[in-house]
Structure 1
Amino acid sequence: MGYFLQLLINGIHNAALYALLAYGYVLIHGITHRTDLSLGALFAFSGQTFILVTAFGWTVLWMTLPLALGFGLTVAVIYVGLGGYAIARLIYTPLETGSRNTVLVATLGLSIFLMELSRLAADTRDYWLPPMLSEPVHLLGSGVDISLTQMQLVNIVVALAVIGTGELVMQRTSAGRIWRAVSDEPFASSMCGIDPQRVRTRAILAACGICAIAGFLAALYYGNISFTTGMIFGLKILFITAAGGLSRPLHAALGAAAVGVVESLWGGYFSVLWRDAAVFSLLVFVLAVRTSNHEAERI
C-alpha cells in the first residue's frame, strides 16, 4: 500500500507539468482551432536554454549559482517571448485563412528547427544542473516513508498557482469573456469591436509563457532536458487535449493530470519501455469512444 501511495504522489508531480502544458495548448487551440505542434518544442527549448545559459554563466562568467540561474531564466524568457511573437505573427497571421493542415506543417517545421537549434547550441552534449532542493519532505510524518522532494513540492505549488490564476482570469475578468467570445464566434466578436488577431496574439504569448514555466520547472527538477523531449511532450499533450476537450483549458489540464498519474503508476508496475505506447493507446481509445458518442448524438 505504501508503494502504491508513493507512486500516486509521484504522479502528482508529473500531473502538474502535463496540466500546465495542456492548459497552455488549449489557450491557443480554443482561439485558432488549429493543431499546433510547437508548444512541446517551446517547452523543451525554454528548459534547455535555461540550462545552457546557466552553465555559461557559471563556468565562463564565474557567476554565483543563484546569479547564474537568474541569468539563465532571463535569457530563456526573452527567447521564448520572441518565439511566441514569431509564432503569432509569422505562422498564424499569414496562414489563418488557409487550410488547417498548413498550421500543422508550419509548427512541425518550427519544432524541428528548435530541436536542431538546441542540439547545435549544446554541441550535441548534455549539460546538467546541480541537484537543488532535493531533501525529502515526509508528507505523512517521519514515521511513514512517503515523501516528495522540496523541488517537487515547489513545482506542484507553482503549477497550481499558474492554473488557478489562469482560471481566475478566464472566469472573472473581461479578458476571459473576450477569449470565450472569440473562441465561439470570431466574426461576431469583430462586429462588436473586438480585434480577434490581437486576442489571438495575446493568447499565444500567454500559452508560450505557461509552457516556458513548465520547461523551467522540469529543468530544475530533472537537471536536464534532451533535444527530442519536446516532440514527445507535444504529441502527448495533443492527444490528451483532443481526448479531454479542446475548448476548456481547465478540462484539458485535469485530463492531462490524470495521464500524468497513470504514467507514474505504469512505471512502477510495468516496463517503462512500454509506458508511452500504453499511454498513447489509452488516449486513442478515449478519442475513439468520444468520436463514436458524438456520431451517435448526431444520428
Structure 2
Amino acid sequence: MAYFAQQVLNAIPIAALYAVLAFGYTLVFSITRRADVTYGAIFAFAGQTYLLFADFGWNRLWLVLPATLAFGATFAMLAGLWAGVTIGRSVIQPLVKASPNALMVAGLGAMIALMEAARLAADTKVLWLPPLMQGPITLFFLQGFSLTLTAMQILNSLVFLSLILLMHHYLRRSTFGRHWKAVSNDAFAAELCGVNASRILLASYCLAACLASLAAVFAESYYGNMDFGAGLTFGLKIVLISAAGGYSSPLASAVGAALIGVAETFWGGYGPVMWRDAAVLAGLVLWLVVRRSENLAL
C-alpha cells in the first residue's frame, strides 16, 4: 500500500506537466482543428535555450546560481515567444484553411529548424543543470514508510496547476476569452460579429507558446537536461496526450493529459520501463481510433 501511495505522489508532477502542455495545445487546436507538432518543439526549444544561456551565464559571465537561472529563464521565455510569433504568423495563419497535410508538413519543417538551431547553438554538446531543490520532503507516513516528494517536484506541480486554473479563469472572464470561444466555435460567424479571427488565432498561439516556455523552464530545472531530439518526441506526444480529454476544451484536455501522466507513472512503477512510452502511445492511438469510430457511428 505504501508503494502504491508513493507512485500516486510520483505521478503528480508529470501529470501536472502534461496537463499544462495539453491546455496550451488545445488552446490553439480548438481554433485550427489541425494537428500541430510544432508546439512540442517550442517546449523543447525553450528548454534547450534555458540550458544554453544558463551555461553561458555561469561559465562566461560568472554569475551566481540564482542570477544564472534567471538569466537562462529570461532568454528561454523570449525564445519561446519569438518561436510562437514566427511560427504562428508564418506557418499557422497562412495554412489554417489549407489541408491538414499541408500544416503537418510545414510544422515538421519548423520543428526540424528549431531542433537544429538549438543543436548548432550548443555545438552539439550535452549540457546539464546542477541538481536543484532535490532534497526529499516527507509529506506523511504510511505503514512505517515515509512518502516523499522533492521540493522541486512540489514547486513544479503548484506552478503548473496554478497556471491551468489562472488561464481557465482568464478564458472564462476576459474579453479575449469570449472572443476565443466564439472563434473556436465558428470563426466565420465570429468575424461577421466583428471579431478578428486571424488575430485571435495568433494571440492564442503566442499565449500557448508562453505556457510551453514557462513549463520548459520548470521542467528543465527538475530534469536537468533536454536532448536535441526532444522536439519530435514531445511534438508527437503532446498531440496524442491532448486527445485523451477529447479536445472539447483546454481544461478537459488538461484533465485527460493528467490521467495519462498517472498511467505512465504507474506503468513505470509496475511494468517494464523500456516499454513505457510505447505502451502509452499505443493506448492513446487505440483510444483515438475508438473515439473516431464512435463519432462516425453517431
Provide the residue aligned with 1:49 in structure 2.
49
Counterpart-to-counterpart distance in 1, 2:240 and 2:77 = 27
**One-letter identity of the residue aligned with 1:105:** V
TM-score norm. by structure 1 comes to 0.96
**One-letter identity of the residue aligned with 2:83:** G
> Which 4+ runs in 1 deviate beyond 6 A?
none
Find out whether 1:162 has 2:163 as its counterpart.
yes
The superposition leaves residues 187-239 of structure 1 with CA deviations (integer Å, 9 ceiling, x where unpaired) of 11111111001101110011001111111111100111111122112212111
**One-letter identity of the residue aligned with 1:199:** I
**Displacement, 1:141?**
4.7
Provide the residue aligned with 2:2 in structure 1.
2
Counterpart-to-counterpart distance in 1, 2:23 and 2:97 = 25
3-state SS of paired residue (1:137): strand
The superposition leaves residues 41-80 of structure 1 with CA deviations (integer Å, 9 ceiling, x where unpaired) of 1111111110110111001111111111111111111111
Contact 1:50 1:75 survives alignment (8 Å): yes
Find out whether 1:267 has 2:268 as its counterpart.
yes
3-state SS of paired residue (2:123): coil
3-state SS of paired residue (1:36): coil
Counterpart-to-counterpart distance in 2, 1:67 and 1:203 = 31
Provide the residue aligned with 1:112 in structure 2.
112
3-state SS of paired residue (2:247): coil
Contact 2:244 2:260 survives alignment (8 Å): no
Counterpart-to-counterpart distance in 1, 2:91 and 2:293 = 33
The superposition leaves residues 1-27 of structure 1 with CA deviations (integer Å, 9 ceiling, x where unpaired) of 111111121111110111111011001
3-state SS of paired residue (1:147): strand
Provide the residue aligned with 1:65 in structure 2.
65
Contact 2:243 2:256 survives alignment (8 Å): no
Identity %: 46
Contact 1:7 1:265 survives alignment (8 Å): yes
Counterpart-to-counterpart distance in 1, 2:93 and 2:112 = 21
3-state SS of paired residue (1:63): coil
Provide the residue aligned with 2:78 in structure 1.
78
Provide the residue aligned with 1:22 in structure 2.
22
Counterpart-to-counterpart distance in 1, 2:247 and 2:187 = 16
The superposition leaves residues 73-121 of structure 1 with CA deviations (integer Å, 9 ceiling, x where unpaired) of 1111111111111012111222233222111111111111111111122
CA RMSD, aligned part only?
1.4
**One-letter identity of the residue aligned with 2:4:** F
Counterpart-to-counterpart distance in 2, 1:42 and 1:279 = 22
Find out whether 1:87 has 2:87 as its counterpart.
yes
The 5-angstrom pairing of residues 177-192 of structure 1 reads 177-192=178-193
Provide the residue aligned with 2:217 in structure 1.
216
Counterpart-to-counterpart distance in 2, 1:30 and 1:87 = 17
Contact 1:243 1:290 survives alignment (8 Å): no
State the number of aligned residues.
297
Counterpart-to-counterpart distance in 1, 2:56 and 2:126 = 13
Find out whether 1:200 has 2:198 as its counterpart.
no
Counterpart-to-counterpart distance in 2, 1:211 and 1:79 = 11
3-state SS of paired residue (2:46): helix
